[in-house]
Amino acid sequence: MLLPDIGMQTVFQFQMTMELHIFCRSCSKSICCTCTVLAHKPHDYADIKLEAQLQKQDLTQMSTALVEKEKEFAKICQDLLSLQDRSQHHKKELVEQIKASVKEALRKVEEKGEALLEELEGLYTVKEVEIKGRIVQTENVLRRIEASRGLVDNMITYAAWKEVMEMQDFVKSALRQLQSEQPLNMDSEETTVRFIQTTQEPSELLGSLVVSNCKRASAEQKEKKKTHSTEKKNGIHDGMRRTVPNELKLIFRPYCSNVSECVTGPYFSTNRGTHSC
């Protein structure tokens, strides 16, 4: 601080040689006796030892007040460390659950694939047997037509009048019979098997991750208990207060094939409840 005028400069130099027994509260500085009648005359000042004692008491009070704060922070720090522990542990569990779900889904997919191939084999075996039967029938008719026409050609070329008259009845009957044979209608024979690909998303096969707030869940649980029993109300409240706020919990919800009835299935992620699947 700049001292005013040449006179004050002299006072300052004088003060340097005097002992500073007094504390001026107005200026927050130690001063000598002389100053109390000069520059600091209208100010609020007191004995420096007394002032120091008061300051010590103030400091002690403030430091004591911090003990509670320290405990509070230590408790939260402990809770956070245990939250970190639980979080890491829970993450490991989720990883295992997802891996198990993937394994199970792959097993089911492979099982279903094998069942499809087996079903396809069965369908085509029946189809091929039927086609083979039709080919044999058709070839048989073709052979008979060929043989009959050969016979007619031979009769026309080589047979005598008498032979023609003897055979014509029988040959005509065979030709009429062949004429009445109907070829297979290929339109009605052609049945097809189609493969329809799934439109399901992988999440529907594996499950999904659901984030829920433990504090909110606890509060809801508390509300539930409150309606059933009022006796343990206080105990529950104390327990709730000790939890670290906003602890988020990830739940892995495996896919449930019984979607229409399952309240924990992927389509009902906001619902809660127990389910046996």
- 19 or 114: CB nearest Zn ion: 19
206 lies in the binding site for Zn ion (CB under 5 A): no
177 lies in the binding site for Zn ion (CB under 5 A): no
Query: What DSSP state is assigned to residue 169?
Result: H
40 lies in the binding site for Zn ion (CB under 5 A): yes
- The CA distance from 80 to 243, in Å, is 10
User: Please, what is the minimum distance in Å from the beta carbon of residue 37 to Zn ion?
Assistant: 10
- The CA distance from 268 to 138, in Å, is 60
User: Please, what is the minimum distance in Å from the beta carbon of residue 238 to Zn ion?
Assistant: 53
With CB under 5 A as the contact rule, which of the stretches 33-41, 148-156, 218-226, 263-271 interacts with Zn ion?
33-41
Instruction: Quote the crossing angle between the two packed helices 161-180 and 48-158, to the nearest 10°.
Output: 160
- 26 or 125: CB nearest Zn ion: 26
User: Do the beta carbons of residue 240 and residue 219 sit within 8 Å?
Assistant: yes
Q: Which of 8, 13, 19, 27 binds Zn ion (CB under 5 A)?
A: 27
Q: Which of 22, 24, 205, 256 binds Zn ion (CB under 5 A)?
A: 24
- The CA distance from 68 to 258, in Å, is 54
Query: What DSSP state is assigned to residue 257?
Result: S
Q: Which of 1, 6, 10, 15 binds Zn ion (CB under 5 A)?
A: 15
55 lies in the binding site for Zn ion (CB under 5 A): no
- The CA distance from 270 to 261, in Å, is 15
Q: Rounded to 5 degrees, what angle do the CA atoms 34, 3, 13 make? A: 50
205 lies in the binding site for Zn ion (CB under 5 A): no
- The CA distance from 13 to 15, in Å, is 5
With CB under 5 A as the contact rule, which of the stretches 43-51, 62-70, 112-120, 186-194 interacts with Zn ion?
43-51
Query: Can you give the binding site for Zn ion, defined by CB under 5 A?
Result: 15, 24, 26-27, 32, 34-35, 40, 43
